[in-house]
Amino acid sequence: MRFTIFQDTDQGGRSINQDRMGYCYSRESLLMVVADGMGGHIRGEVAAQLTVQACAGLFQKMATPRLADPSGFLEAALMASHRELLQYQARKNLPEAPRTTVIACVVQDGFAWWAHAGDSRLYWLRGSRIMSRTLDHSKVQAMASLGLISPDELETHPERNKVLNCLGSPQDPSLETTSRVQLANGDLLVLCTDGFWSGLPDTGFASAFQAGPVAEIVPGLVERAVVHNGRAADNATVVALSWEGSGADAELPTLSSINLPEGAVTTTIAIGQFDDDEVSSSEMSEEDIERQISEIRQAILRSNEDPQGGTA
């Protein structure tokens, strides 16, 4: 596999960042995950953190170096994340489990699969077109599907933040999984939270990503979303992948998985025991988050600096 990928987040106008993001890849398979902890419930940041960790941990176990069933993996990973949140509730003796929305995507053999719960989205872009995007599990999307409101009202309706489906709820989530789609050279996969997509309406969304390579344009688009959403802007988070590289600038680094050893996984997600008593995201400043993101980027680039690298 050969691709360009970039991730970024901004706290916006909120006191803490409850979004989490990351990606992992083996020699033949890649996973991207974005989770948006729900602030209307307790410890949303914990829910998002546990979700990306659970997905990454399962990927590390099963992508050796490929997934036997990418669609089945996504369902298993999100359900495992859901159960992890319920177990956290029991361990901490909480009145309810922390909750999160999630979008996860697997790329393998030149195809992509994705699954989601809630209003975190995936956009599949080709040139200036949106080939596909996930439909939110939200009250306003349900109203629009029933013809009760127009599509133009989705982003301004006063009940737009009411989510009908998530991980961590008392009932099992209703996961929506997309069958595989074949990627073409230069296609983009964009996974993001509502704090990002609400600041970049669908009209012009695809063209905004055509302004340059993802590593150059994503930070500016995150900032643009936060500015658009104003002083009370939600956390804005995005992971964007350009398949086989966009070809926009041959000087920019493109990642290749061909040199990874059998069974090895490269990841931007810390996999291991999570202890929110020791590492609380509420104590992480914006500078802490930015520093961690920068360190991860540099580590990934160093691991791929191999002049003999090719395309798997």
Taking only the tens place, the pLDDT of each residue in 59-105 is 999 999 999 999 999 999 999 999 999 999 999 999 999 999 999 99
- Report the pLDDT averaged over residues 35-51: 91
Q: How many helices (H) and strands (E) does the chain have?
A: 7, 12
- Helix H or strand E encompassing 279: none
What digits encode the pLDDT tens for the residues 249-272? 455 557 878 778 877 888 888 766
What digits encode the pLDDT tens for the residues 173-206? 999 999 899 999 999 999 999 999 999 988 889 9
CATH architecture of 2-302: 4-Layer Sandwich (3.60)
- The confidence score (pLDDT) of residue 254 equals 72
Q: What are φ and ψ of residue 49, in 5° steps?
A: -65, -45
- The confidence score (pLDDT) of residue 306 equals 46
- The confidence score (pLDDT) of residue 125 equals 97
What are the Cα distances from residue 179, in Å, to 6, 74, 187, 229, 247? Answer: 24, 11, 17, 33, 27
* Residue 251 and residue 212 in contact, taking contact as beta carbons nearer than 8 Å: no
303 pLDDT higher than 90: no
141: its two tokens: 């999307």
Q: What is the largest CA-CA distance in the chain?
A: 57
- The confidence score (pLDDT) of residue 279 equals 39
The whole-model pTM stands at: 0.84
Domains of the chain by residue range: 2-302
- The confidence score (pLDDT) of residue 150 equals 75
Which span out of 29-43, 262-276, 297-311 was modeled with the highest average pLDDT? 29-43
312 pLDDT higher than 70: no
- Helix H or strand E encompassing 284: none
Q: Which amino acid type is present at position 44?
A: G
